Amino acid sequence: MTLQKSDPEIAKLIGREEKRQREGLEMIPSENYVSAAVRQATGSVLANKYSEGYPGKRYYQGNGIIDAIENLAIARFKKLFNVAFVNVQPYSGSPANAAVYFALLALGDKIMGMALSSGGHLTHGHPKITFSGKYFNSVQYTVDENGWINYDKLQEQVLIEKPKILVCGTTSYPRVLEFARFKKIADSVGAILLADISHIAGLVVAGVHPSPIPFADVVMTTTHKTLRGPRGAILMTNNEEMAAKIDRAVFPGLQGGPHENVIAAMAVAAKEAGTSEFRAYAKQIVANAKVLSEVIIKNKIALVSGGTDNHLIMIDLKNFGLTGKDTAEKLEEAGIVTNKNAVPNDPLPPAISSGIRLGTPAITTRGMKEPEMKLIGDWIADVIFSRRPVGAVKKDVLDLCRKFPI
Ligand code: DSN
């Protein structure tokens, strides 16, 4: 029976969400449109199966085909990232980072990650309200007053703090991460280096951002952002001993049955990401973000760090007395979907914030290129400065979206 017949309420809501995704500019930099093949695998009969354990070592019968699927996913990611060990079972990025800490640290050990307000992530040791800040001794580093990581300052702080693990990874940092420098800094105190490349993984496999694999002890990425796969995460390392500890931390340490439907969809995404089409796509994401940032700057709107090297842009609204919350809501009314985000030295709490985070992965999947970025950059300024009625911008957005169907 179709969903439409068996549950019209949910079918209708899904239909409305599909329409929203078609008719608006999805510019949250961690979102994307997956292929029909990825969606088909995610919604497949594999969702019916329990397969606790790992290929060849399961706790349930009937897993021969599941083993073949999980092995294929592992093999594809090994090749894609050029890495020796891959665990494809983490449900998402947060449990994947948790598994790394539980595998390699003792409770109370020192974690050092980038502060959320500087562009880090909650699981990188955000104090008080997250497991990473509550059950571990967390210290945080920040970006400088211009929004850049200052590697010399980081080195000084690391020498004082001597963390057990140094996390390099970001959710709202628009610049290249220098993994070789991070490794040198981690090595200076014998710290483990964890690279969380969730945002930039698609750029890494396409060669438009340096890879952390030669440097980091462990690399984590979610699979649903620039990598354009299903919602999940993988853990990678070249260290055999760490790989064994990570496997045990993921299962049975932290998780139960893996989501093999998602793992199959990850395998599909890994195959797609190995193609020349994907490499061209990733290159275009960065080219689009660059043009978009230039147009926004031309409209006299400040960007954190003054621009971008990757897929995302951070608008700093502090000079205009506008909040991220109000601006994101107004942009959404115009069909431009972004998110409010703290900026460095933000005087406002995160739920209000003074920044807008936006990016190009999803609109690039639709086929938009530099000419469209020029339009969108001006429309964003129109909304921020109330230069045109929101309804007029929304009409332009809709016309553009219709020219680039999903
Ligand atoms: N929530 C993700 C993001 O939007 O960047 C990070 O986990």
What pLDDT, on a 0 to 100 scale, did the predictor assign at position 1? 77
Give domain status of residue 12, yes or no.
no
Q: Cα torsion for 207, 209, 211, 212, to the nearest 10°?
A: -170
Contact 195, 235 (CB under 8 A): no
Domain endpoint, select from 222, 255, 273:
273
Residues 259 and 304 in one domain: no
Residues 47 and 171 in one domain: yes
Domain endpoint, select from 273, 298, 315:
273
**Which ligand 1 atom sits nearest the alpha carbon of residue 222?**
7
Q: What is the pLDDT of residues 173-189, one digit of tens each?
A: 999 999 999 999 999 99
Residues 213 and 301 in one domain: no
Q: How many domains is the chain built from?
A: 2
- Protein residue with least CA distance to atom 2, ligand 1: 30
8 vs 277: CA distance, rounded Å = 37
Residues 268 and 302 in one domain: no
Give domain status of residue 205, yes or no.
yes
30 CB less than 6 Å from ligand 1?
yes
Q: What is the pLDDT of residues 274-304, one digit of tens each?
A: 999 999 999 999 999 999 999 999 999 999 9
The pair of structure tokens assigned to 66 is: 């599941």
The amino acid sitting at 57 is K
Average pLDDT per block of 10 residues along the chain, 406 residues long: 94 98 98 98 98 98 98 98 98 98 98 95 96 97 96 98 98 98 98 98 98 98 98 98 98 98 98 98 98 98 98 97 97 98 93 97 98 98 98 98 97
Q: What is the CATH number of the domain that holds 340?
A: 3.90.1150.10
The amino acid sitting at 100 is V
CA-closest candidate to residue 89, choices 53, 57, 128, 124: 53
Residues 110 and 254 in one domain: yes
Residues 227 and 296 in one domain: no
Residues 238 and 302 in one domain: no
Domain that holds residue 118: 40-273
Give domain status of residue 5, yes or no.
no
118 vs 140: CA distance, rounded Å = 10
The HSE-up count of residue 114 (CA atoms within 13 Å, CB side) is 29
Q: What is the CATH number of the domain that holds 234?
A: 3.40.640.10
The amino acid sitting at 78 is K
- Protein residue with least CA distance to atom 4, ligand 1: 30
> CB neighbours of 318 closer than 8 A, spacing ≥ 6?
302, 343, 346, 347, 354
Residues 151 and 286 in one domain: no
Give domain status of residue 368, yes or no.
yes
User: How far are the Cα atoms of 196, 232, 287 from residue 88, in angstroms, in the given order?
Assistant: 15, 8, 30
User: Rounded to 5, what percent of the chain is helix, strand, coil?
Assistant: 50, 15, 35
284 CB less than 6 Å from ligand 1?
no
Which residues are the active-site residues?
Answer: 50, 52, 196, 222, 225, 231
339 CB less than 6 Å from ligand 1?
no
Q: Strand, coil or helix: what is 187?
A: helix
Contact 81, 212 (CB under 8 A): no
122 vs 243: CA distance, rounded Å = 24
Residues 196 and 132 in one domain: yes
224 vs 139: CA distance, rounded Å = 29
**Which ligand 1 atom sits nearest the alpha carbon of residue 31?**
4
Q: Strand, coil or helix: what is 82?
A: coil
384 vs 80: CA distance, rounded Å = 40
